Structure 1
């Protein structure tokens, strides 16, 4: 039966299982997956709200997600994990420390999801999915990606 299931089934199932694992792990520490992703983006460089929304736009495709990061940003500012000055958001020292701790937990989930794959198998899956996305019109250089 499993061999006859289409690609879409497996993509949605794996995505759902990843979301469940991330949500359970992050919720234990009082942060959502989107907030964790915001912290990761801000770890790279300060950004405006539109830049953060654009950076996370693929994750706002589901109907149960907000269309912007506003709510997530305000909660992170209130927690002291990020600051907001002159229109830009930046990660704080407290946010950086929290992100490092959360990243260790997330890395365990990633390791678990690929535990029976060798490096070349994982790389092949990722490369194949990227090719399929390009075949379906995804352009990594487009501004809204």
Structure 2
């Protein structure tokens, strides 16, 4: 029966498991996937708040993004750089720790898939998204 489920079921289930798994990985530092996404988004340089919200819109609303920024700022991992969240030295060190754990988690997700299979899977999903965006006028 499982093989007969539509792609939407598999995508939804994968998203649920990615959320749960990433929360478990970063939870060791008292964080959620949203915290990780914010930290990952600003590690290379300050980001306009509106740009950060837009980048994370598929995952969280503005209030959740702002809450993660506030939490990370309270930890001393982010600072305000002319109204743009920016990573601190402590935040950079935390990012390095977390990146190793997140990388291991991501590798476990793709375990058993060749690089080619993984690339084809991602390309297929990207094509489905593009097809739906076009069909829905977005």
Shared fold per TM-score greater than 0.5: yes
Deviation at 1:12, TM superposition (A): 0.8
After superposition, where does 1:69-88 map in structure 2 within 5 Å? 69-88=65-84
Select which of 121, 128, 132 maps to 1:136.
132
Deviation at 1:103, TM superposition (A): 0.8
Unaligned runs of 5+ in 1: 61-65
After superposition, where does 1:28-39 map in structure 2 within 5 Å? 28-39=28-39
The answer to whether the aligner puts 1:52 opposite 2:57 as a matched pair is no
The structure carrying a bigger helix percent of its residues is 2
| Residue correspondences, number | 134
Q: Distance in 1 between matches of 2:42 and 2:4?
A: 42
Stretches (4+) displaced over 2 A: none
Q: What TM-score results when the alignment is normalised by the length of structure 1?
A: 0.87
Q: CA RMSD in A?
A: 1.4
Select which of 103, 114, 118 maps to 1:118.
114
Q: Distance in 1 between matches of 2:7 and 2:54?
A: 27
Deviation at 1:85, TM superposition (A): 3.0
- Which residue of 2 is the match for residue 127 of structure 1? 123
- Which residue of 2 is the match for residue 15 of structure 1? 15
Unaligned runs of 5+ in 2: none
